[in-house]
Amino acid sequence: MVRSDARYPLDRRTFLTLTGISAAALAMGTGVPAHAAPVNSRVPADPFGLGIASGEPTPDGVVLWTRLTPEPLAEDGHGGMPPRDYTVEYEVAADDRFRDIVKSGRAVASPELAHAVHPEVTGLEPAREYFYRFRVGGEISPVGRTKTAPAADADPGSLAFAVASCQAWYHGHYTAYRDMAEQDLDLVLFLGDYIYEYGITEANLWRQGVGELSAAHAATTITLEQYRLRYALTKHDPHLRAAHAHAPWLVTPDDHEVENNYADDASQYGMSPEDFLRRRAVAYRALYENQPLHSDSLPEGPDMRLYRRLRYGKLAEFNVLDTRQHRNDVPSDGGTPGGEHTDPERSILGERQEEWLYEGLKVSDAVWNVLAQQVVVASIDRDTGPGTEYSMDIWDGFTANRERLFEVLTSNDVANPLVLTGDIHRHSATELKADFADPDSATIGTELITTSVASDGDGSDSDHLADLWLGNPHVKLYNARRGYLQVAMTPTEVTSEFKVIDQIEADDTGTVSTAARFVTEAGRPGLNEVSGGQQ
């Protein structure tokens, strides 16, 4: 065993200082090249029940992920693993039969991280498909497919990606992922609410045919074992596993990975910041353990670095944002014109993330500058009459932050801003206006909002909020079914296809169709609806 003290690896800086980088990489589960074969204690059978994944693609690498869980739904959150370290080997090949293995290595799966490993594979070719698998003891994982990003100076002709959010396991089947796993994709973006913290009871278990859940699932997730168990329940779904195995993912959380509508250290349920940060710490730990995230995102106490930038050659830059951890608390004015929510000091990103974002946007040479984030950026007046009413949980609660962002976009001629959003459990698409109160003002960007994968159950094409949303002239689409968003990006246009499913509660056989299809031309922000959709 390489490491000297099982307690250090989670304090990254301390551990790197004490033991050197390669030992730290192995102990943190981030991987080192393979040399001698490892010796493991007996490994329980079938440890890959939660599947495999890859993420964070760069031109020369990806992060791989798996978590050893011979009993995925063990209620102590440890997946049926003994409290010991196990060495997991991984292989990356140019072909799906592993005749041409280009990289191999090993990483330690430790009980501190619920036996998750996150090997960071480098030295791969850009814009290339690879296959990967894991081995521990005599057990071999399913094979995953992944793809590296193009070289930073490349001019890719196209990029295909899917966007998903809000997958309350208990509200329905993951039919969206069944369909997604059949598409030709370079990347999957997940924009938050991968798990929900609520207890699962008879009242909210709309996903049919899943049998009876033990009492442990009825608890609101507060402890680490409860968050781990909720991830296990969620990731046990075969279609979600297939989608993870199909393409690299970029994952960012929203509120429900911790608690509904939280803001930084503020719970909306009357809890002290000191107590709430304890919950955020275990929720972030479980998030890291269950996603293909880079070690840059390894939490330290209650903090987790989640905003980051990935480049797809000169075609696109993805700015992955964190609009929860650094935001100001809910304003007291409730949206009164000129009230606290317009305070210039307020920020949904926090000062450091704003600075990081603006500096990146100013120097970007990408054709498409993508903001992959959680909550709606466009202003949405929720009063269908002459008055105004705004949600304070979205960018409308942080108007000065939105103005600063738009100022950076316009004054620096940032090319083709494209915002990707989740949160609202509806498909929508908006034109971002220089002045949302003036429909004739310039359109400075485009926002594509994906509906939920499962949250809110079957849904319907229209519902009681349709008039509210479509009453805002910059809103060009509203659909309240479940589904996901598929995007085809080229240097000249972005085609967005809003996919919906006729039902998800009864079973996973629902029919997937396209509710709407839009083209956004490079150099001409906005939405042009094209044929092929069925609204």
Partner 1 sequence: MTTEPAPVTGATAEGRTGAIDLSWDLPGWEPLVDHFAIHASKSPEVEISSATLVGTTVYGRFSHDTLGPEPVTRHYRIVTVDAAGGRSTPSETVRASSTKSMTTYGRALAQVGEFDSKSLELALAPAGGPRGFRAAFPDGVDFVHGRSDPGTDWSYLHPGPEDEWAGRTEHTFRLRFTLDTVPEARSDSRSG
Q: Site residues (CB under 8 A) for partner 1?
A: 6-7, 10-11, 76-78, 83-85, 110-114, 199, 201, 203-204, 222-225, 261, 268, 270-271, 274-275, 278-279, 281-282, 285, 300-302, 334
Segment holding 409, helix H or strand E: helix 399-411
Q: Which lies closer to partner 1 via its Cβ, residue 302 or residue 350?
A: 302
Q: Residue 103 and residue 351: Cα distance in Å, rounded?
A: 40
Q: Which lies closer to partner 1 via its Cβ, residue 264 or residue 529?
A: 264
Of the candidates 91, 87, 35, 86, the one whose C-alpha atom is nearest the C-alpha of residue 64 is 91
Torsion angles phi and psi, residue 493, rounded to 5: -160, 160
> Is-contact 72 44, C-beta < 8 A?
no
**Shortest gap between Cβ of 106 and partner 1 (angstroms)?**
17
Q: Which lies closer to partner 1 via its Cβ, residue 317 or residue 381?
A: 381
What the block records as the tokens of 27 is 């102990």
Q: Which lies closer to partner 1 via its Cβ, residue 270 or residue 386?
A: 270
Q: Residue 497 and residue 477: Cα distance in Å, rounded?
A: 12
Q: Which lies closer to partner 1 via its Cβ, residue 76 or residue 502?
A: 76
DSSP string over 339-401: SGGG-TT--SS-HHHHHHHHHHHHH---SEEEEE-SS--S-----SSSS----SSSGGG-HHH
Q: Which lies closer to partner 1 via its Cβ, residue 85 or residue 91?
A: 85
Q: Which lies closer to partner 1 via its Cβ, residue 116 or residue 315?
A: 116
Q: Which lies closer to partner 1 via its Cβ, residue 225 or residue 354?
A: 225
Q: Which lies closer to partner 1 via its Cβ, residue 301 or residue 473?
A: 301
How long is the chain?
A: 535
**Shortest gap between Cβ of 296 and partner 1 (angstroms)?**
18
Identity at 350, one-letter amino acid code: G
Q: Is 470 helix (H, G, I), strand (E, B) or coil?
A: helix
**Shortest gap between Cβ of 393 and partner 1 (angstroms)?**
9
**Shortest gap between Cβ of 198 and partner 1 (angstroms)?**
8
Query: What angle separates helix 224-235 from helix 273-289, to the nearest 10 degrees?
Result: 40
**Shortest gap between Cβ of 327 and partner 1 (angstroms)?**
16
**Shortest gap between Cβ of 144 and partner 1 (angstroms)?**
26
> Is-contact 171 505, C-beta < 8 A?
yes
Q: Which lies closer to partner 1 via its Cβ, residue 89 or residue 112?
A: 112
**Shortest gap between Cβ of 113 and partner 1 (angstroms)?**
8
> Is-contact 253 196, C-beta < 8 A?
no
Residues 6 or more apart whose CB falls under 8 angstroms from that of 317 comprise 309, 310, 311, 360, 364, 366, 368, 369, 370
**Shortest gap between Cβ of 105 and partner 1 (angstroms)?**
21
**Shortest gap between Cβ of 77 and partner 1 (angstroms)?**
7
Nearest 10 degrees: CA dihedral of 212, 51, 295, 373?
A: -70
Of the candidates 495, 489, 487, the one whose C-alpha atom is nearest the C-alpha of residue 518 is 495
| HSE of 343, CA atoms in CB hemisphere, 13 A | 15
Segment holding 514, helix H or strand E: strand 512-521
**Shortest gap between Cβ of 367 and partner 1 (angstroms)?**
40
